[in-house]
A and B are shown apart, each in its own frame.
Chain A
Amino acid sequence: MQLVLFVLFGLFAVLGGLIVVGNRNPIYSALGLVVALFSISALYVILGAYFVAAVQVIVYAGAIVVLFLFVIMLLNLNDRERLREQFTLRSVIGIVLGLVFVAVTGLTVWAVVHPGTGAAMPLSDVGHTKQVGRLLFSNYLLPFEVTSVILLAGMVGVLVLIRFHGRGHRS
């Protein structure tokens, strides 16, 4: 059952990724990204990471992709940019190298992982979110604080970019 669901959502994720890469209209790329991210969140649920799954949907699908859509619509890119991308030698090389990478990684994983390796310890589902929180505020306190500084820096950076630039050119 788990396996079937995993394969199903995995296929959805790959489908979404293909839409991101393959579609010429950036709006559809963004929607493909939503499909991929949502399927990955479903995969997290199957892997027992409920809290990560929820945060995935909240942060990525709820905020980041909306930001993408917002910018695409604001710049009204869908008409002008549609037909400008061509299929070149570079693309062919990229795709071939990509296939090689997938093959190597896949073969390695299938060769190395045997039944019995790794910890069979199941993550208990009850209180799981609490454990994540406890770990976040004990062992990973410093990275957590650094992350908040990064977010602050990002916020300031965006304001500086948009604000001072706009003042110089618009008025």
Chain B
Amino acid sequence: MTAYIVRRLFATLPVMAVVAIFVFFLIRFAPGDPAAIIAGEDATAEAIAQVRMKLGLDRPVLEQFAIWSLQLLQGDLGISIFSNLPVTRLIAQRLEPTLALTLSTLFVAVALAVPIGVVAAWKARKLVDRLVMGFAVLGFAMPVFVLAYILIYFFAVQWRLLPVQGYAPIGEGFWPFVESLILPSVALGVTYMALIARITRASMLEVLAQDYIRTANSKGLATDRVLLLHALKNAAVPIVTVIGIGIALLISGVVITETVFNIPGLGRLTVDAVLKRDYPVVQGLILVFAGAKVLVNLVIDISYAFLDPRIRY
């Protein structure tokens, strides 16, 4: 197993290299010029050229790439064109809100979706099941920003139970931190909850029809043991796969949620950087996102071996 993990970690290097090359050239081929933005609306061509030279953007693209790659190998993501701050520091500053939002969303989604999926499968075709599946369709069809505004309207504006928007770092107290995360997590989580609940139900239904569940019932085991150990452990591989896909989608999904709820995280940083064509920041962010997705994939793959003893690496 250890050998497998090491091998997989090495295999991520070429993936990251391809991502690095791709993002570097893609953003340079996109229309828009950071020098023009910095120089201002009324700037002359000379002024723009001067800014471009200062930023090193007048050099051949391949040379720029070589410089950036060498920095990258030393763990240096470069310096933001606009704020003149190191990209690593910019990302580090914005990491906590995004991490907190992603994890709390995941927690909300998984902690609710798996139990309701199990119950829906157990009570298949009964009222509970129909309610759950109806909710799943609705939750899946609802755009995040629509739901977010509905939630803000009722919970924050009308009933004043939770803050409208903003983020309270965990360093400023646990309860304000949690409060600031509830609405965004629910808004962002409902889609994944619907997705995970559906997969859990489908996977459980298939497993509940298996011979070994009949065996478990013939032993007179308690219902919770049959459902949560005998069935759910067998149903887990597809569920975990979807949770993994969910995490990957979530990382991209936070961009919208952070904007709606005014949370200063990586999503907001990305939007700002892309609009300004802040090349080093965009490059750094995409590498971080890609790295996160590769890591999630690895964790999911490893978890299979713990869930199903027939899977060996």
- Bound pair (A, B): no
Tell me the A residues contacting B by CB distance below 8 Å.
Answer: none
